[in-house]
Amino acid sequence: MEDITKYKAQMLDTNTRQRNYYEFETTTNFKHGGNVATALWDKLRNYQYRMLEEIGLTDQIYELHKEWMGDLTNKKVLDLGCHTGNILSEYIAKNAKEYYAVDLSSSALLQLQGTLADAGINSGHFISVDILSDSFSERDFDIIYAKDIFHHFKYIEVFLERLQKITKLGGSIITFDPLNTYLPMKIFRYFYRFLQKDKDWEFPFTKQTVSLIQKYFDIINSAGTMGKTKKAFLLYVFSKKTAITKSKDWQYQDLYNTSIASSSFWSFLGVALHLKNSKES
């Protein structure tokens, strides 16, 4: 990659602005700031999340992630960009030998630490730091859980190179990110981007993104979301019952018949990847 030092400096600057965006007072809960367009997008996204939860897709994705993680008993796990905690943060912290929660926001990590303490989990390392920064010195992670993280890096090779250095050889990285390869969504995102307040750190995957990931890691498992299941999203508007009934077969096909070699892969709106670090950094 040409001039990686320059790109790293740019990414560190962007992440400083991103940290300020996601920071919040410890006495309040984080809320996405932004303009009318960002607020509308958040509402549409939350509507989609509710539908996915009702048809059971959300649970299936996280069960699949747990399956990919395997037994955590002797694993050193990094919960990257976890903010106030994702659905699997408590599960990982409870079962891993060593748990590291890393996020840009110190207030978010403080809230996560409190949430885990309430659940009886008082071990773990909570570090507010930019993963690209040299001040983060931890290495040899068996597993890095990076939900909705990869697409925040414009120059993703800087990030991929960093992950390769801190992941144990043979270790795994588990991701979940939006794809920007389905034409109708691609068109929508193009026009929305002019109004998007957080556009400087929002870069949904393209075909090139996936190719770059393969340059650094082996993709050993993949699972798509909102491929055929997009039809359920339309049905959901008119009949929740019909959408839930029809979606079961569609979501099974999306999750378990996903291959990046297939042309249908690029019609998904989101994708989970199970990566393996089998290449010397």
Q: What is the 3-state secondary structure (H, E, C) of 47-70?
A: HHHHHHHHCCHHHHHHHHHHHHHC
For the chain, 281 residues long, give each residue's pLDDT as a single digit of tens.
556 778 888 989 989 888 888 886 666 666 655 666 666 767 776 766 677 777 677 788 899 999 999 999 999 999 999 999 999 999 999 999 999 999 999 999 999 999 999 999 998 999 999 999 999 999 999 999 999 999 999 999 999 999 999 999 999 999 999 999 999 989 988 887 777 777 888 999 999 999 999 999 999 999 988 888 887 777 777 777 787 787 777 887 888 777 888 888 999 999 999 999 997 65
Instruction: State residue 242's pLDDT score.
Output: 80
* Domain ranges, residue 126: 4-276
Burial per residue of 158-187, b for 16 or more beta-carbon CB atoms within 10 angstroms, e otherwise: bbbbbbbebbeeebbbbbbbbbbbbeebee
93 lies in a domain? yes
Instruction: State residue 192's pLDDT score.
Output: 77
Instruction: State residue 154's pLDDT score.
Output: 92
How many Cα atoms are found within 13 Å in the side-chain-facing hemisphere of 35? 9
Instruction: State residue 250's pLDDT score.
Output: 82
CATH of the domain at 121: 3.40.50.150
Instruction: State residue 280's pLDDT score.
Output: 65
Total count of domains within the chain = 1
Q: What single-letter DSSP state applies at residue 150?
A: G
281 lies in a domain? no
Q: What is the pTM of this model?
A: 0.89
Kindly report the length of the chain.
Answer: 281
Instruction: State residue 25's pLDDT score.
Output: 62
208 lies in a domain? yes
Provide the token pair at 236: 């959901």
182 lies in a domain? yes
C-alpha–C-alpha distance, residues 143 and 157, integer Å: 19
Q: Which residues share a beta bridge with 223?
A: 272
Instruction: State residue 210's pLDDT score.
Output: 96
10 lies in a domain? yes
